[in-house]
Amino acid sequence: MSSDDGEERVPLSRRPEWADVRPLPQDDGPNPVVPIAYREDFREAMDYFRAVYLADERSLRSLNLTSEVIAMNPGNYTVWHFRRLVLETLNVGLLEERDYVDHVAEHNSKNYQIWHHRRWLAEKLGPKAANKELEFTKKILTIDAKNYHAWSHRQWVLQALGGWDDELDYCQKLIEDDVFNNSAWNQRYFVITRSPFLGGLQASRESEVSYAIEAIMANPENESPWRYLRGLYKNDIDQFLSDNHVSEACLKVLKSGHNFLFALSLFLDLLCFGFQPSDEFKRVVEGLRNSVASSSDANLATSVCNILETVDPLRANYWAWRRSTLPSIVC
């Protein structure tokens, strides 16, 4: 009877199975503000919903009514809550409900209430639901590989129900599909730091550094692998300074003379932490400074800030501030 079918919707007031129910209209008071111009169908469905909700009628017709309301508006948390109560009382099969949610979620993949309902269902189904949930989020992510709700659900599933085995491979595939997909890079970080099977950040660091640098070399203008690389040294500045791979990657990009913004900014961070640059670094920076005609300075970090101010004018004020707040230890 929902308008989904393409059939003419029969108002609830004309359906014999609802004849005994008195719909409960909203009482908005005498002079409300921001009144919504409800369509008649919507208003009527909600008035009948309010009646069964208040009466706490946990019947099949109530369940069907919640489906009808959800089809018009999946965003009402009271409706979903009542649906859960009815499902539990009627002891409806959870797998049947999951099919229903699959269908609704596909067309409303950015709705908080639907994802919450999915989580409720998955919790009840337990670890055996993990695969199906991962499959479902994967489906949503093929439509939009950055859907925040899908990623949130996926991370919850992994932590609550398991299924870590293929996750790193999945991240790799997504990064191959689109190396600029920051969500995929974030998920990779999530896996290497939180997977119970991988030994933590330090254990994975070396291989992940290579992975990030490879991505950087292919697209030095891509912010994601730069942030990821820096993130691999979270809370470990000493390693960050002493690992040659990091400084060498910076140097290589700087030498290329293009797409060097992130390389230069990472180099600035290294200097601020006390990095002692080689003469080659100094020469390359001097070369860049000449090519963009920014002002020279005896202090290397100052020169770097000058270059950044020139080539990244959108953030000129920020680079000027960085220059004015350089630590005294810096070269």
Partner 1 sequence: MDRSSELDRMKHVAFLEMMMEWIPSPYESQEINRLTLAYFTISGLAILDALDPVYKDRIINWVLSLQAHPRDRAELENGQLYGFHGSRSSQFHRHDAKQQDSVPNGSHLASTYCALAILRIIDYDLSSIDSESILISMRHLQQPDGSFTPIHLGAEMDLRFVYCAAAICYMLNDWTGMDKEKAKDYILSCQSYDGGFGLVPGLESHGGGTFCAVAALRLMGFIEADALSKSTVATTINVPLLLEWCMQRQGVDGGFQGRANKASDTCYAFWVGGVLKILGAYHFLDKDALCRFLLSQYSGFKKFPEDVMPDLYHSYYGLAALSLLEEPGLIPLCVELGIPTKDAI
CB contact at 8 A, 210 and 245: yes
Near partner 1 by CB under 8 A: residue from 239, 315, 326, 330: 315
Distance of closest approach, residue 292 Cβ to partner 1, in angstroms? 18
With 0-12 / 13-18 / 19 or more C-beta atoms within 10 angstroms meaning exposed / middle / buried, residue 193 is middle
CB atoms within 10 A of CB 116: 16
146 is an interface residue for partner 1 by CB under 8 A: yes
Is there binding between residue 203 and partner 1 (CB under 8 A)?
no
Give the catalytic positions in this structure: 110
Residue 53 or 275 with smaller CB distance to partner 1? 53
151 binds partner 1 (CB under 8 A): yes
Q: Is 234 in the site for partner 1 (CB under 8 A)?
A: yes
Q: Does residue 197 touch partner 1 according to CB under 8 A?
A: no
In this complex, which beta carbon is closest to partner 1, that of residue 138 or of residue 230? 230
Q: Does 199 bind partner 1 (CB under 8 A)?
A: no
The closest alpha carbon to 149, from 75, 71, 73, belongs to 75
Name which position in 166, 177, 223, 286 contacts partner 1 (CB under 8 A). Answer: 223
Q: Which is nearer to partner 1, 170 or 189 (CB)?
A: 189
For partner 1, which is the closer residue by CB, 109 or 186? Answer: 186
Nearer CB in complex with partner 1: 32/199: 32
Query: How far is residue 11's CA from residue 240's CA, in Å, rounded to a whole number?
Result: 67
Binding of partner 1 by 72 (CB under 8 A): yes
Residue 11 within binding range of partner 1, rule CB under 8 A: no
Structure tokens at 313: 């004018």
Q: Taking CB under 8 A as the rule, does residue 143 contact partner 1? A: no
Which residues, in sequence order, are CB contacts of 143 under 8 Å at separation 6+?
109
Q: Is 324 exposed, middle or buried (0-12, 13-18, 19+ CB in 10 A)?
A: exposed
Query: Of residues 15, 144, 148, 217, which one binds partner 1 by CB under 8 A?
Result: 148
**Alpha carbon distance 161, 137 (integer Å):** 14
**Least CB distance to partner 1 at residue 287 (A):** 25
Of the residues 18, 100, 164, 180, which one makes contact with partner 1 according to CB under 8 A? 180
Per rule CB under 8 A, is residue 314 in the interface with partner 1? Answer: yes
Residue choice 9, 190, 198, 326 for contact with partner 1 (CB under 8 A) = 190
Distances (CA, A) of 178 to 138, 183, 192, 237: 15, 10, 20, 30
Q: Any contact of residue 100 with partner 1 (CB under 8 A)?
A: no
The answer for residues whose C-beta is within 8 angstroms of residue 9's C-beta and 6 or more apart is: 1, 2, 3, 41
Among the listed residues 75, 93, 127, 274, the single contact to partner 1 using CB under 8 A: 75
Q: What's the angle, vertex CA 231, arms to CA 227 and CA 236, rounded to 5?
A: 140
Cα gap 307→35, rounded to integer Å? 55
- DSSP state, 328? T
179, burial (CB in 10 Å: exposed 0-12, middle 13-18, buried 19+): middle
User: Judged by CB under 8 A, which of 4, 28, 214, 248 binds partner 1?
Assistant: 28
Which residues are at the interface with partner 1 (CB under 8 A)? Answer: 24, 26-39, 42, 46, 50, 53-56, 72-78, 81, 84, 112-113, 115-116, 120, 146, 148, 151-152, 155, 180-183, 186, 189-190, 194, 222-224, 227-228, 230-232, 234, 265, 313-318, 321
